[in-house]
Amino acid sequence: MCVNFTPPTHRQLLDGFGLDATGLEWRAETWQDYPAPIITAGGLLLASYGFIPKPHLPPGVRLTTMNARAETIGEKPTYKRAWSRCQLCLVPMQAFFEPCYETGKAVRTRIGLASGEPFAVAGMWREWQEPDGGVSHAFTQITINAEEHPPMKHMHKPRDEKRSLVILPREIYGDWLVCREPELARAMLVLFPADFVVARAVLLKTR
């Protein structure tokens, strides 16, 4: 599963997605509970990475909701309602990071398009009511099995199930955002061609 990615720059959002993010700010790398831009049917939003942001967790509860499994997304209490309503989004990015165990040790690996262009992965979003009466937004990324996919089958510990984000083809961005049938949405969740991406080892930046 992905817990860290590089969101697009303001210029990349404008040039690659036709969206003006003037007035919105986010960090160069996104981790849990960091704000990042997402694209919904209604437009661009700044949302927290993780479906249940830390301030909304019950005291003493630790829960990671940055990734939702496609196979169970309609059954888990955390995601069931939003999935039934097809609150789908695109999560634009330059690349995402995974630990590669091909050498036997974890090597932080950057996965991006071979073309170098920004892209979008399948996600789901929701609203949160804040104590001050305002509304905030949060999102999760949807993952699928990648046991037979090079290079994703080398990511994560050897005994762990291999999972991958879903890089959506640009031509179905609109179909994904306006989809209102959960099973139709699920049918769009397929692995990207192996030669579509480039995976390379990188150093971990200090947060």
- pLDDT beyond 80 at 25: yes
Give the integer Cα–Cα distance in Å for 207 and 118. Answer: 22
Cβ atoms 66, 165 nearer than 8 A: no
pLDDT of residue 2: 86
Q: 69-119 pLDDT, tens per residue? A: 999 999 999 999 999 999 999 999 999 999 998 888 899 999 999 999 999
SS3 assignment, position 126? strand
C-beta neighbour count of 171 within 10 angstroms: 7
Q: 170-185 pLDDT, tens per residue? A: 999 999 999 999 999 9
User: How much of the chain, in percent, has pLDDT values that exceed 90?
Assistant: 84
Q: 184-195 pLDDT, tens per residue? A: 999 999 999 989
Residue type, 53: P
pLDDT of residue 92: 98
Give the integer Cα–Cα distance in Å for 94 and 110. Answer: 10
Q: In which residue are the tokens 């949160």 written? A: 128
pLDDT category of residue 156 using cuts at 50, 70 and 90? confident
Distance set, CA 123 to CA 83, 111, 132, 173 (Å): 10, 17, 27, 11
pLDDT category of residue 145 using cuts at 50, 70 and 90? very high
